[in-house]
């Protein structure tokens, strides 16, 4: 049997895979089982921040692997302490809880917000506002947080207490806050799965104002838009806001599973011993990899992200077959005249991996993609859109 046949026989039917078996990669290039090479403009959904088998990252990870691959959270270990310190120093947040995925980082954020509100205002203040068209994960609670019915059906009842506001609709948000006992507002500053849509500044300004006035916890879901992706270390840094909680994952680990929930001065001491935990959370190998990633997201690299973003947007906007380009930094969505799936398949045939977000073609290249590969990929994408 082929790998594809083994997979369809033995893997649960949850993924619509492209007909490719990926085998090995280097930087922004990856090869399939037949040796065909692709420029990777998707990085495993914004995970491989510096591409495949990046030398520095691989070294950091493998050195740690030879020392200590795991220890329970009953003991201290260096990599998670140093990663937490780096994350706090670079963001101004004060403490970190480590987990293993985006959904878990959001679960933690929701627990902190609920406990904060219960202690401060009473346990009836437990409603969490999220946005329509958002994506926050696949667990029963983060599905409830996800403001898209298509993900909910078949899994009801979900965790209670979530309210959905239309993105960028200030009146809707105001009305929901005034008529409910709200603990938190949770949002992606750039909705990823929802179609690569940045929130409008006036909407975020309003979130900032109302959450200050009413002592409502703000949770920035930076799972996809964080870790340098938008040209800032975290997506919220493109706006004048300091969230009370930041959740992140995907690109943080550079390819290894890690989730992190960053807590501000206001939320850092909400949890007490045994309020939360994770067996694998803070894994030393994952943290060593993440520390390497975080330390490399400096101003030079972020400027390069912005320059590459400008280049892609300039090249694709008004190009034949393209209606518009949305997003921030190297998190971009292309609305195409032809069906996005056809465009994507055409790109793949011509050696470029891109993925979908709703009805758009989504680009999430490695932050350090070399200019020559980026230019080549953009040309192939342009012709695939015609
Ligand atoms: C991918 C994603 C998640 C879920 O992350 P997992 O690691 O798959 O659990 C949550 N929020 C956002 C914004 C995401 O893009």
pLDDT (0 to 100) of residue 104: 98
Does residue 44's CB lie within 6 angstroms of at least one atom of ligand 1?
no
Q: Is residue 222 within 6 Å of ligand 1 at its C-beta? A: no
pLDDT band at 212 (very low <50, low <70, confident <90, very high): very high
Residue 320: per-residue pLDDT: 97
Return the best residue to mutate from 47, 131, 137 for the ligand 1 pocket (most ligand atoms within 8 A of CB): 137
Whole-number pLDDT of residue 136: 98
Would you put residue 255 in left (φ > 0), alpha (ψ -120 to 50) or beta? left
- Give backbone dihedrals phi and psi of 357, rounded to 5 degrees, phi first: -140, 110
146 lines ligand 1 (CB under 6 A): no
Instruction: Indicate the pLDDT class of residue 216, thresholds 50, 70 and 90.
Output: very high
Per residue in 326-370, pLDDT (tens digit) is 999 999 999 999 999 999 999 999 999 999 999 999 999 999 999
Q: Are 301 and 329 in contact (CB under 8 A)?
A: no
Q: Which two tokens stand for residue 237?
A: 């840094």
The pLDDT value given to residue 127: 98
- Per-residue pLDDT tens for 253-276? 999 999 999 999 999 999 999 999
Do residues 45 and 364 touch, judged by C-beta distance below 8 A?
A: yes
- pLDDT tens track for 163-190: 999 999 999 999 999 999 999 999 999 9
- Please work out whether the CB of residue 100 comes within 6 Å of at least one atom of ligand 1: no
Which residue's alpha carbon is at the smallest distance from atom 15 of ligand 1? 224
pLDDT of residue 359: 98
Atom number, ligand 1, closest to the C-alpha of residue 250: 7
Kindly indicate the confidence band of residue 246, based on its pLDDT and cuts at 50, 70 and 90. Answer: very high
Give me the pLDDT at residue 303, please.
98
pLDDT in tens, 275-306: 999 999 999 999 999 999 999 999 999 999 99
- Locate 251 and state its tokens: 């690109």
Phi first, then psi: give them for residue 351, nearest 5 degrees.
Answer: 90, 30
Nearest to 354 by CA among 324, 333, 327, 325: 333
Label residue 316 by pLDDT band (50, 70, 90): very high
> What is the structure's pLDDT at 130?
98
Q: How confident is the model at residue 3 (pLDDT cuts 50, 70, 90)?
A: very high
Degrees (nearest 5) of the Cα angle 147, 49, 312? 80
Taking the model in full, what pTM does it have? 0.98
- Per the prediction, the chain carries an average pLDDT of 98
193 lines ligand 1 (CB under 6 A): yes
State the average pLDDT over residues 148-157: 95
Cα dist from 238 to 46, 162, 190, 204, 330, whole Å: 18, 27, 10, 11, 14
Cα-to-centroid distance, 137 and ligand 1 (Å): 5
What is the pLDDT, as a whole number, of residue 301? 98
Distance 102 CA to ligand 1 centre (A): 4
* C-alpha 152 – ligand 1 centre gap (Å): 16
Q: What is the pLDDT of residue 48?
A: 98
Confidence of residue 218 (pLDDT cuts 50, 70, 90): very high
Residue 249 near ligand 1, beta carbon < 6 Å: yes
Q: Which residues pair with 278 in a beta bridge?
A: none
Which of 101, 103, 259 gets mutated to test ligand 1 (max ligand atoms within 8 A of its CB)?
A: 103
* pLDDT for the residue numbered 292: 98
219 ligand 1 Cβ < 6 A: no
Give the list of residues 6+ apart from residue 188 with CB closer than 8 angstroms, or none: 131, 134, 135, 194, 199, 220, 221, 222, 223, 224, 225, 235
């Amino acid at each position: 049997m082929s790998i594809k046949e083994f997979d369809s026989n033995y893997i649960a039917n949850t993924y619509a895979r492209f007909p490719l078996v990926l085998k090995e990669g280097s930087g922004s290039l990856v090869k399939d089982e037949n040796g065909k090479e692709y420029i990777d403009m998707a990085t495993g959904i914004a995970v491989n921040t510096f591409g495949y088998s990046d030398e520095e990252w691989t070294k950091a990870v493998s050195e740690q692997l030879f020392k200590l691959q795991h220890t329970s959270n009953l003991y201290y270990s260096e990599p998670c302490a140093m990663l937490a310190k780096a994350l706090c120093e670079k963001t101004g947040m004060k403490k970190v809880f480590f987990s293993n995925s985006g959904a878990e980082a959001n679960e933690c954020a929701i627990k902190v917000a609920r406990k904060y509100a219960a202690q401060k205002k009473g346990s009836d203040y437990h409603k969490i506002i999220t946005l329509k068209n958002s994506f926050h994960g696949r667990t029963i609670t983060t599905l409830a947080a996800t403001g898209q019915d298509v993900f909910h059906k078949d899994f009801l009842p979900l965790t209670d207490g979530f309210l959905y506001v239309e993105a960028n609709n200030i009146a809707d948000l105001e009305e929901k806050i005034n008529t409910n006992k709200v603990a938190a507002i949770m949002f992606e500053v750039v909705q990823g799965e929802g179609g690569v849509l940045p929130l409008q500044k006036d909407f975020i300004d309003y979130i900032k104002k109302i959450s200050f006035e009413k002592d409502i916890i703000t949770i920035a879901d930076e799972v996809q838009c964080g870790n340098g992706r938008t040209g800032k270390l975290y997506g919220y840094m493109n706006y004048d806001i300091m969230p009370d909680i930041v959740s992140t994952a995907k690109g943080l680990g550079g390819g290894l599973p890690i989730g992190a929930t960053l807590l501000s001065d206001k939320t850092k001491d909400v949890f007490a011993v045994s309020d939360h935990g994770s067996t694998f959370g803070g894994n030393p190998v994952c943290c060593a990899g993440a520390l390497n990633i975080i330390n490399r997201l400096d101003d030079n690299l972020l400027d390069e992200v912005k320059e590459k973003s400008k280049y892609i947007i300039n090249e694709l906007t008004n190009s034949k077959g393209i209606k518009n380009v949305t997003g921030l930094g190297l998190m971009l969505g292309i609305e195409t005249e032809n069906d996005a799936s056809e465009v994507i398949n055409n790109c793949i045939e011509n050696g470029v991996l891109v993925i979908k977000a709703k009805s758009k073609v989504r680009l999430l290249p490695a932050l350090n993609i070399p200019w020559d590969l980026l230019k080549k990929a953009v040309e192939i994408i342009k012709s695939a859109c015609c």
